[in-house]
Chain A
Amino acid sequence: MSSNKKYWKSVEELNGNSSIVETLKQNEFVSEIPTDEFLGDKNTLESSSTTRRDFLKYVGFSTAAASLAACEGPVVKSIPYVVQPEEIIPGVANYYATTIADGFDFASVLVKTREGRPIKIENNTLAATNGGANARVNASVLGLYDSLRVQGPKKDGNAISWGDFDADTTKKLNELKAANKKIVLLTQTFASPSTDKLIASFKETYGNVQHVVYDAVSESAALDAFQAKYGKRALAGYDFSKAMTIVSVGADFLGDWQGGGFDSGYAKNKVPNHGKMSRHIQFESNMSLTGANADKRVPLTPSQQKVALAKLYSYVVGGAVGGELPAHIDEAVQKAAAQLKKAGSNGVVVTGIQDVNAQTVVLEINEFLASKAFDAKVAIKTRQGNAKEVANLVADMKACKVAAIIMAGVNPLYTLPNAADFAEGLKKTELSVTFSMKEDETASETQYIAATPHYLESWGDVEIKDGHYALMQPTIRPLFDTRQFQEALLIWTSNSVAYNDYIKEVWNANILNGASFNQALHDGQFVTTTVIIETTVEASTENTEVEKPSNAAASALAASAKGSGLELALYTKVGMGDGQQANNPWLQEFPDPITRTSWDNYLTVSKADAEALGLMNKHVANGALNGSYAKVTVNGTSLVVPVLIQPGQAKGSVGLSFGYGKTKGIKEEMQTGVNAYTLYHNFSNVQNVTVEAAAGEHEFACVQLHNTLMGRGDIVKDTTLEIFNTKDKKYWNAIPVVSLNHEETPVTSPEVDLWDEFDRSIGHHFNLSIDLNACTGCGACVIACHAENNVPVVGKTEVRRSRDMHWLRIDRYYSSEESFAGDDEKKDNISGLGSSLSEFGEMEHASENPQVAFQPVMCQHCNHAPCETVCPVAATSHGRQGQNHMAYNRCVGTRYCANNCPYKVRRFNWFLYNGNDEFDYHMNDDLGRMVLNPDVVVRSRGVMEKCSMCIQMTQKTILDAKRDGRVIKDGEFQTACSAACSSGAMTFGDINDKESKVAKLKEDNRMYHLLEHVGTKPNVMYQTKVRNTTEA
């Protein structure tokens, strides 16, 4: 059957006499192939002795040789020590207690070292009063192995020796001393008794010396208020575990407010105990971590906060104050006041308003209440900066009044709003020295860079609170040719004592009171019972200009509140803080607990304001989030910032975080966001601002795009204290049922199970309990998991493709109604097609002031795991101890398991993330790879990975017990996340040990499993969140 079909090859054929058709018939290629380019040069071709055949032979031979050579294993060298240090046993970790004190984060920590390399930061349980390790502290170990650290002293950009540095600077300092010129020490808050003493002796030696303490993110107002009231430049201590009613006006005390570290105390009373739990009312403008955890959150602009605080004062203490508040806010303030009064000494008020009057009002309210949680005696020392002095210093420098400036732990050219003025003043100094780990904005502009060691290579001491001391000790020999600021002070004051001996002297003389220094060093901390009379002069209190609160602080506060237009509230993010660690890829990739966005800072805008300003967020085709840009102008300084629409943001306010937009001493990949310090005029975190839409669209790396629960209340179970106390468990934590023979049967019963149960009653059976009440969403666990398990960093573009590798994520949900209960109700009442189409659509959007829930999700280690049944190569399988094992070397990368996982916790290695220039993070250089945990495999391209429930840690605990021939006690089993959790939300252990905490939690009424109706029988359980919504 011959065909007379005509196949058309192009439109040209329609045109009967097209020349192209004819040409193409004769010649496949229209234009001539440029063979001359490589065959034209006859001479070279002829002179070459290689024929085509020879060429093929060579190719064949080299291929064969290469494949043969590949069969031969490489020769591996093993190089033991010449003299092995006694305390080091290869393969066994050593722990050292030390302290981080970088001017922003202060905490006592334990450092895990392997073969002499620090690889992980853990909580020091002996020093719990010194604050737990937050996400940044957990990540700080990576800063040690930063490839951009300054490796030795430099003068005008050229490397010099320390000898030259000493000779030059000492000579210059002596010259200035002879001329009685002014020398300024501009430092971070050290809170270090020995450093204070050293600075005092430096002052003595050089005469005209001023010491200015500078905190990048200032708490100056609070310090001034405290100093005016109690005569000491410090911050009031708060112990939230003693408070049953907490009212916070703009204080993000679960974040970095007044140095942070309050979360563990706070979490203690958040768990219902005998029907009681604390009630937390938050008045704030930005949606903060604290606001997200509050039982009641009232959004209001910063200026309204001032009035609200003044009114709170008048309602609680008495006296009339002026100022107007919208009716609903006033009502909320009244209710809060009533609740506080009722609570009496069990209540506490805190505020983050940077205003001396506001801070004074809070001190007065707490005194009035005789709040047990408030402690003015054991004051916090970790913020000592003085904003006024810093401002004066810049003016002095510009006026040529400062001859020498020596900086340590500060980066004013990045963190000052008037950095240009500072730079101008810096040029007018005769001597400028920066003690810095990086060649950052400031260091690169000074004459001398004195390379400093990381805190893990340093000695030091810190007085975190009055009487609560901590010691810092090196955990590794300095990697580079570095020197501490304190050592330099010793040299400049011609003191030949080593700094560690100096600390010992100071401690033995002033602090220890006869106690053992070595014991204090071992514990990392020391608490004095007797209050020691301060002998050293407080560095910053002499000739200090302190703003004095007015007598009627509350009225003055109310009067000072005048908001016009939009107000910008500057804040610090849990992941980035003040930006010191911006070159840390773990922190860059760490999704912010609230916005779930990584690798950026952004302007948070309420939905109403965004609509009014024409700003928007949208999801693009690859599933990622894009946002418009906005031009933000404060006092003539403008920034173009991407916009993120934030539920819960108070109308009339916008938020922007510090810590981003660094340009020097930082890898290109990490140069993200904009520098909000340029808007930080007068060290005030609230600025009047104009915002207008700007052109362009910003690409966000946001890891959670669906923000609401859509009424699926069984994912995050949530109830109120009233219901929890009065109703049966069935009502607020029901086990889902299925139909078996037309009878409702709980999914947990064996009759409805597809699988036969495996007997796990013998040996260990690990379970992890996550208490949604205690979890504040701080994210310390995320970074701890990163560090423990060698989780790679994938970068912004990969995160946008949803290829982030975090084994542990903290899901954050907003309610679309006022509360999650409202969501459930709305969903249940949907009927009919029309209603479901419109109302489900509505439920995708978060409410204006939503309830927030955090839910850490990692591999649930299902006993009936869906992933295990679909793996074609049995690479993932179950152990008797309840862990779902993942054999990376067996995995062929089909990703069936990830598709079949209802919790979406499996992560696929789309690329080789180590030693790959495309992913130029810590795993791409020898220095950064030193942080890797040698007990966990670094995964390669094409394999699936996921949470292992830290099997390397449980196995080690078991082995240690076997070796000692003993039974394992409860609490010995830990995972990286449970060990990092300072709020006690995560409890890990063996449920076959019936006495264990986790076994009891398993029987708790609040216990539920995630997606229980799927029947996967997970080994991770959650405790229902209970909110105390009882109004006074």
Chain B
Amino acid sequence: MKKPYQSLEVNITNNMKKVIHRKLSKNILGLGLIILLVFTASLSAQEGDPAKGKSLFNANCAACHQLDKKMTGPALRNVEARLADEQGLDRAWIYDWVHNSSGLIKSGDAYANKVYNEYAGAAMTAFPQLSEKDIDDILAYTAEVKKEAPTAVAAAGTGAEAGATTGGVSNELVLAALAVLFALLAVGLVLVNKTLRRFAEAQGVELPEETKRMPLWKAFVKNQFLMLVSAIFLLLAGAYFIYGYLMQVGIDQGYQPVQPIHFSHKIHAGDNGIDCKYCHSSARVSKTSGIPSVNVCMNCHKSIYEYNGETSAEYTKEFYDDQIKKLYAAAGWDDANQKYTGDSQPVKWVRIHNLPDFVYFNHSQHVSVAGVECQTCHGPVETMEVMYQHAPLTMGWCIDCHRTTNVKVEDNAYYEKIHEELSKKYGVEKLTAAQMGGLECGKCHY
């Protein structure tokens, strides 16, 4: 539910995110983008183009710096003004620092050494490729005035939600009105009937006597044939439903447990388009897909400390930010001081896809060898706010797929000979997994 005026911007952000994502291994740009959206109008008085500066900043600096938050490096908002006020350093110093910070440190510059020591002896990467004009642009960007951006989005979200609620109420009102109408009609009919009868009585019209007939149910009970037929029918129907019930015991399709951390696949795989196997990397080589360890999360979340995407009444920004805090607690990450405390806690996720122990399933066979998309079995994960089991994971389901899916033999020397011979034998162009032996008991049960 987006406000119409916002949708365009959201599209832009999405597109831009994707472009940048391709360039950067770390996805850390959410905040900057939102800020850009909101501040497009506020131009700085200084020379330099803040728009250009922003993209340069995101491409080169954002891995270690943010505007308002100390990260690997210091917060950079109004850095030039601050340096000038506090240290009396001019822009030339900044050029030197950016082009060759370690050189500056070696030359014995006091402030350079101070910063170097403050950040535990980690020198800033040199950026000789940035021209002075580029640095001007970046500085122009950092000099922009901060504005509260996310509230607007949040407010928009709430407004949209309110609209929806109104719609719901009106529907119910219409229904209630209809119900009242029908009730009135029914009462009216009864009254008319009564009145007519009274008229008839008053005018002496003979109403034909209703013959007392045997009640329908009694007739039914007396008819043994009908009883037998319906008993058989009921038994069969009962058996059908009981069978259906029993056959779904242990099948947890749609199982959607509450997880200790509300991890949204929609945000990660959907909105941000992160590849499944970036986090579930062992799916490529192992039988298990692997639940990512917390250090994998921290690859990105070291710099993504807040959520700035779409929100709803249920899932507010605060809610998502809380989840990131939970992650920090698990990883033992002290966000304020940007360091690990060493006090970590493994996350006890609730396992969703539970195959019985007697089934051997290997992810790498399907993912790496066969090239099956994760979504084929796991469903539209990129749209799942809360992860659930998409497939029934029954043997019939496995086998159906094996019967219909062709073996991916291209560029695989292993398959060359066997595929050629077998396809000749079966007289087909392409072999299915079943023809390759994918239905044999021992391939999955040992």
Contact = CB atoms under 8 A, between A and B. Distances in A.
Interface of A: 71, 73, 75-84, 89-92, 759, 761-763, 875, 877, 879-881, 883, 885-890, 935-938, 948, 951-952, 955, 958-959, 961-968
Interface stretch (B35-43, B201-209, B412-420): B412-420
B364 A937 contact: no
Given A73-B354, A77-B348, A83-B295, A936 B418 contact: no
A879 B282 contact: no
B184 interface: no
A964 B250 CA distance: 36
B437 A880 contact: yes
Nearest to A875: B441
A887 B349 contact: no
A79 to B, nearest CB: 5
Nearest to B249: A71
Given A73-B252, A91-B286, A889-B356, A79 B365 contact: no
B413 A76 contact: no
B241 to A, nearest CB: 15
Interface stretch (B51-59, B115-123, B227-235, B339-347): B339-347
B173 interface: no
Given A80-B293, A91-B288, A962-B365, A762 B418 contact: yes
Nearest to A884: B442
A89 B413 contact: no
Contacts of A968: 414
30 contacts: A73-B354, A75-B350, A76-B350, A77-B348, A78-B291, A80-B349, A81-B294, A82-B293, A82-B331, A82-B345, A82-B346, A89-B285, A90-B286, A92-B285, A762-B418, A762-B425, A879-B441, A879-B442, A885-B442, A887-B442, A887-B445, A889-B358, A889-B445, A890-B441, A890-B445, A959-B369, A963-B368, A966-B413, A966-B414, A967-B413
A887 to B, nearest CB: 4
Contact of A90 (B282, B295, B330, B348): B282
Nearest to A877: B441
B292 interface: yes
B421 interface: yes
Given A763-B422, A959-B362, A965 B346 contact: no
Contacts of A90: 282, 286, 288, 290
B414 A759 contact: no
B442 A948 contact: yes
B413 A78 contact: no
Contact of A962 (B346, B349, B414): B414
B350 A963 contact: no
Contacts of A76: 350-351, 354
A75 B257 contact: yes
B287 interface: yes
Contacts of B368: 963
Most chain B CB neighbours (cut-off 10 Å) among A82, A761, A948, A952? A82
B397 interface: no
A881 to B, nearest CB: 7
A274 B414 CA distance: 36
Most chain B CB neighbours (cut-off 10 Å) among A89, A881, A883, A961? A89
A298 to B, nearest CB: 48
A92 B286 contact: yes
Pick the 5 closest A-B CB pairs, nearest first.
A885-B442, A91-B286, A84-B293, A81-B293, A91-B287
B411 A965 contact: yes
B165 to A, nearest CB: 34
A71 B446 CA distance: 25
Interface of B: 249-250, 252, 257, 282, 285-288, 290-296, 330-332, 344-351, 354, 356-358, 360, 362, 364-365, 368-369, 411-418, 421-422, 425, 437, 440-443, 445-446
B356 A80 contact: no
B437 A881 contact: yes
Contacts of B416: 967
B271 to A, nearest CB: 23
B237 to A, nearest CB: 21
Contacts of B356: 889
Given A82-B330, A887-B445, A959-B362, A77 B350 contact: yes
Nearest to A763: B418
Given A83-B294, A937-B446, A938-B357, A78 B286 contact: no
A71 B331 CA distance: 37
A811 B290 CA distance: 44
B101 to A, nearest CB: 30
Contacts of A952: 360, 446
Nearest to A764: B418
A1002 to B, nearest CB: 20
A628 B101 CA distance: 90
A938 B356 CA distance: 12
Nearest to A934: B287
A80 B293 CA distance: 5
Contact of B358 (A79, A888, A964): A888
A961 B346 contact: no
Most chain A CB neighbours (cut-off 10 Å) among B249, B293, B345? B293
Contacts of B441: 875, 877, 879, 885-887, 890
A932 to B, nearest CB: 11
A76 B368 CA distance: 27
Given A886-B442, A968-B414, A78 B351 contact: yes
Given A937-B357, A961-B414, A84 B296 contact: yes
Nearest to B442: A885
Contacts of B285: 89, 92, 963
Nearest to A71: B249
Contacts of B296: 84
Given A881-B437, A937-B358, A965 B412 contact: yes
Contact of B446 (A82, A951, A958): A951
B440 A877 contact: yes
A1 B88 CA distance: 131
Contacts of B249: 71
Contacts of A936: 446
Contacts of B421: 761-762
A883 B411 CA distance: 28
Nearest to B288: A91
Given A962-B412, A965-B412, A91 B365 contact: no
A87 to B, nearest CB: 12
A967 B418 CA distance: 10
Contacts of B350: 75-78
Nearest to B260: A77
Contacts of B417: 967
Given A880-B440, A886-B442, A890-B441, A80 B413 contact: no
Contacts of A875: 441
Contacts of B344: 82-83
B131 to A, nearest CB: 39
B265 to A, nearest CB: 16
Nearest to B349: A78
Contacts of A961: 414
Contacts of A885: 440-442, 445-446
A965 B369 CA distance: 9
A227 to B, nearest CB: 54
A851 B445 CA distance: 42
B422 A80 contact: no
A79 B422 CA distance: 43
Nearest to A950: B446
A30 B360 CA distance: 62
Most chain B CB neighbours (cut-off 10 Å) among A759, A877, A887, A958? A887
Nearest to A84: B293
A800 B261 CA distance: 54
A966 B417 CA distance: 11
A955 B288 CA distance: 16
Given A76-B354, A82-B331, A879 B291 contact: no
Contacts of B360: 935, 952, 955
Nearest to B287: A91
A936 B440 CA distance: 17
